[in-house]
Homo-oligomer: A and B are copies of this chain.
Amino acid sequence: MSASLFLIPVTLGETEINRSLPPYNREIIVSLRYFIVENERSARRFLKQTAPEIIINDLTFYILNKHTSPEEVSAFLQPVKSGHSIGIISEAGCPAVADPGAEVVSIAQKKNIPVVPLVGPSSILLALMASGFNGQSFAFHGYLPIDDDCRIRTLKTMEQRIYSENQTQLFIETPYRNNKLLESIVKTCKPATRLCIAADITLPSEMIKTKNIGEWKKNLPDLSKRPCIFAIYK
């Protein structure tokens, strides 16, 4: 196989590797010497957990964040020219979905470097599966606007698409603001619209529950500091 860019998912929070990553990922990981990572400390920890025999000091880490320029990213991909594959490791879940990895992949594609995505946990996809909502048509919107008026407008536009396009709408929030978002949702959406709250996915405290807005209103859960995916559908 020619030198490639491997997209390496990590677990969602503190859970065993075997819970959510295929054994094949380990085989790829131990074959790599170059990694593009968001945070070197957590990447080292993940690698040690996956393959305790890895000698971390033999590895090269390139740090990727929103300040990394396209020129720097191009330099990160240099090892491929001399036949060395590279791995991208994100902070949680799948690289390049809702994290800075997408820019690296885009540059790799332009340079004709083969890109190989490995299987792992995506909170968006797991929430969608367990919601019972339409999986033939869905949209993920990332973070909603923070400003109250903008957020309400965005929620209304999304709710319209549920009914006009039969499309499930998914979104997220910074965990400490989850309760505030939940209040906006139940105030803004119709009582008959269904809301799925998926919290702590793949963790022992996992809770994925779908009810209509009218039912949720009677008893709002405390979602503060729990990583959550929200989905709405008719």
Q: A residues touching B (Cβ–Cβ < 8 Å)?
A: 7, 16, 18-24, 94-99, 101-103, 105-109, 114-117, 119-122, 124-143, 167, 196, 201-202, 206, 208-211
Contact = CB atoms under 8 A, between A and B. Distances in A.
25 contacts: A18-B22, A19-B24, A20-B24, A21-B22, A94-B129, A96-B130, A97-B128, A101-B135, A102-B132, A102-B134, A106-B132, A106-B210, A107-B132, A108-B132, A109-B131, A109-B132, A109-B209, A109-B211, A115-B130, A116-B208, A117-B126, A117-B201, A117-B208, A138-B140, A139-B140
Nearest to A120: B119
Q: Interface centre among A95, A101, A117, A124, by most B CB within 10 Å?
A: A117
**For the complex, would chain A's binding face be called helix, strand, loop or mixed by DSSP majority?**
mixed
Nearest to A196: B109
Count the copies: 2
A109 B138 CA distance: 19
Q: Across chains A and B, which 6 residue pairs bring their CB atoms closest together, nearest first?
A: A106-B132, A105-B132, A139-B139, A97-B135, A136-B142, A109-B210
A233 to B, nearest CB: 9
Contacts of A131: 105, 109
Q: Interface centre among A7, A124, A132, A134, by most B CB within 10 Å?
A: A132
A115 B21 contact: no
Given A115-B208, A130-B115, A209-B109, A135 B18 contact: no
A116 B130 contact: yes
B97 A130 contact: no
A25 to B, nearest CB: 9
Nearest to A95: B129
A126 B97 CA distance: 10
A177 to B, nearest CB: 17
A129 B7 contact: yes
Contacts of A202: 119
A130 B135 CA distance: 21
Q: Interface centre among A114, A129, A143, by most B CB within 10 Å?
A: A129
A111 B25 CA distance: 37
A103 B136 CA distance: 12
Contacts of A136: 98, 142-143
